[in-house]
């Protein structure tokens, strides 16, 4: 029914609090008569130790869709100065892209602040960034988020 709105688990999209929050924003916009939809990359976060986060396609999903045209790059937290400053060098950042256009398809982060770092991947995927754009970006130093740029550079060889 066009006058009934639902958010959260009953809406049938990602059953995550941050998705429900966006669904609530969209419902309010629609009720106010504005056109709005829920779309875009949704970060998947697991609040464990170490944290795990991903956005976009997994490597397996990317290979299913793009076959051999998938390249990944992985960079360990062990090589990131900020991880050493935190005293926790467990983890890595992984990029997944396809080689036809170089489009970034997915990002996986495992380690300290993974659920924070993945948001850079959300923006990059929503903007349809290429792996070259991510690799050519300037990352603040020293930060854990440098791992995203470095993983892109690994993927680029």
- Cβ(21)–Cβ(27) under 8 Å? no
Is the CA virtual torsion 1, 21, 104, 114 positive or negative? negative
Per-residue pLDDT tens over the stretch 54-93? 999 999 999 999 999 999 999 999 999 999 999 999 999 9
- Cβ(116)–Cβ(130) under 8 Å? no
**Rounded-to-integer distance, Cα 79 and Cα 74, Å:** 11
State yes or no: is 34 an active-site residue: no
- Cβ(104)–Cβ(127) under 8 Å? no
Q: Considering 3, 34, 66, 141, which one is annotated as catalytic?
A: 141
pTM of full prediction above 0.85: yes
Q: Kindly state the tokens that stand for 142.
A: 């020293």
């Amino acid at each position: 029914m066009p006058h009934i709105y639902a958010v959260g688990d009953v809406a049938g999209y990602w059953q995550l609090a941050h998705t429900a929050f966006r669904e609530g924003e969209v419902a309010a916009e629609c009720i106010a008569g504005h056109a709005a939809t829920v779309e875009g990359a949704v970060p998947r976060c697991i609040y464990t130790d170490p944290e795990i986060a991903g956005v976009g396609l997994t490597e397996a999903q990317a290979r299913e869709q793009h076959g051999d045209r998938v390249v990944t790059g992985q960079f360990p937290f062990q090589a990131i100065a900020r991880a050493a400053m935190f005293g926790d060098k467990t983890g890595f950042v992984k990029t997944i892209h396809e080689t036809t256009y170089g489009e970034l398809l997915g990002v996986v982060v495992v380690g300290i602040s993974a659920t924070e770092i993945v948001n850079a991947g959300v923006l990059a995927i929503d903007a349809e960034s290429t792996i070259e754009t991510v690799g050519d970006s300037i990352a603040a130093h020293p930060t854990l988020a440098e791992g995203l740029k470095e993983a892109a550079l690994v993927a680029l060889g």
